[in-house]
């Protein structure tokens, strides 16, 4: 196993609600990246956090926001949920920001009804 954990594993919400997903990075890793994977698609980059600062962002609206804590764990918050937000949300931890050798958690499967 990678040592990256995510919670919860599954979540069901309704349109308009807000959700917070959590990720604990592998020991010694200071970077967390978040991805959204819709059914039948590859993961899409949401954003990355490095040493508690957002280090880059993909093509996602501002209602997707995040945080990284001093212990390098991270949260992904999504406001005003839409049906299309239903997906597997993956976090990946790494040492540094180059994108190489990212270790993925098991993901949180979000269903928006």
Chain positions contacting another protein, by CB under 8 A: 33, 35, 40-45, 48, 55-56, 58, 88, 90, 97-102, 104-107, 109
Residue closer to another protein, measured from CB, 78 or 105: 105
Nearest alpha-carbon partner for 88 in 98, 102, 76, 72: 76
Nearer to another protein, 16 or 96 (CB): 96
| Complex with another protein: residue 37 or 65, whichever CB lies closer | 37
Helix segments in the chain, DSSP class H: none
Q: Is 55 left (phi over 0), alpha (psi -120 to 50) or beta?
A: alpha
Q: Which two tokens stand for residue 62?
A: 């501002």
Q: Which residues pair with residue 13 across a beta bridge?
A: 112
Nearest distance, CB of residue 16 and another protein, angstroms: 27
Q: How far is the CB of 76 from another protein (least distance, A)?
A: 15
Q: Judged by CB, which is closer to another protein: 19, or 36?
A: 36
d(CA 43, CA 35): 6
Q: In the bound complex, what is the minimum distance in angstroms from residue 113's beta carbon to another protein?
A: 19
């Amino acid at each position: 196993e990678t040592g990256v954990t995510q919670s919860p594993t599954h979540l069901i919400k309704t349109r308009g609600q807000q959700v917070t997903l959590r990720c604990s990075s592998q020991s010694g890793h200071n970077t967390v990246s978040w991805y959204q994977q819709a059914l039948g698609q590859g993961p899409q980059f949401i954003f990355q956090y490095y040493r508690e600062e957002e280090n880059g962002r993909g093509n996602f609206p501002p209602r997707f926001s995040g945080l990284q804590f001093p212990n390098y764990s991270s949260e992904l918050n999504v406001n005003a949920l839409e049906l299309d937000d239903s997906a597997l949300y993956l976090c990946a931890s790494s040492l540094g920001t180059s994108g190489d050798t990212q270790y993925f958690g098991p993901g949180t499967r979000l269903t928006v009804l």
